[in-house]
Amino acid sequence: MPAVVTTAFTGSITFGTSTFTGIMYRSIATNGMHARGDIETSYMGLADGAKTYIPSDLQEPGTISVDLIFDPTKLPPAGNVVETITVNWKTGLEFRSPGICRSLSRQRHGTIS
């Protein structure tokens, strides 16, 4: 696994397979981390006409959005390869999970989301 960047910013993110590392300069926005969906079980024969649901067996791992500073000669991986993504905060906390970069947009410094 590649070395983690030590920074005075928010922290760093590292993709294990591609060895891409970026410095986070803003907070991470999360969307439904480990949310469990529901499955509608309603049918026309229900007397009260209300919808009914049961919990799904599958969990949605959610998404994270990170604003990064990175070396422009090595772009973040935007593809279909699942990698171990490690997020390190300057407080010492770490989050590690398999995942992919679903979208990428470059602004002044670069944004991966």
| Domain of 83, in residue numbers | 11-33+62-112
**What pLDDT, on a 0 to 100 scale, did the predictor assign at position 31?**
65
Q: Where are the beta strands (DSSP E) in the chain?
A: 11-15, 21-24, 29-31, 35-40, 53-60, 63-69, 83-89, 94-99, 104-105, 111-112
Q: Which residue has the higher pLDDT, 2 or 43?
A: 43
**What pLDDT, on a 0 to 100 scale, did the predictor assign at position 113?**
44
Number of compact structural domains in the chain: 1
Q: What is the mean pLDDT of residues 51-66?
A: 81
Residue 24 in any domain: the answer is yes
Residue 91 in any domain: the answer is yes
**What pLDDT, on a 0 to 100 scale, did the predictor assign at position 27?**
59
Query: Per-residue pLDDT for 61 more than 80?
Result: no
> Any idea which of 9-18, 34-43, 67-76, 95-104 has the lowest mean pLDDT?
67-76
Residue 69 in any domain: the answer is yes
Query: Per-residue pLDDT for 3 more than 70?
Result: no
Asked if residues 46 and 111 have their Cβ atoms less than 8 Å apart, the reply is: no
